[in-house]
Amino acid sequence: MKINAMLGKRMSLEEIAAKLNAQKVSPIHGTNRWTAASVRKAFVS
């Protein structure tokens, strides 16, 4: 599920980060896990 779709379902940034981590989606920006801040950065970039 894409970040836009999850935001459309009114999920919080923390919930999205947890879901991406649970699904083992590789995070952006060379980090080892998704955070609320990295979800926000991915959405606005």
Angle between helices 13-22 and 36-44 (to 10 degrees): 100
Number of domains in the chain: 1
Distance set, CA 9 to CA 13, 31, 32, 33, 37 (Å)? 11, 26, 26, 22, 19
CB atoms within 10 A of CB 42: 17
Give 45 or 3, the one with higher predicted confidence: 3
pTM listed for this prediction: 0.87
The pLDDT-based confidence of 22 (bands split at 50, 70, 90) is very high
**Domain coverage including residue 8:** 3-44
Find the radius of gyration of the CA atoms of the chain: 9
The pLDDT-based confidence of 36 (bands split at 50, 70, 90) is very high
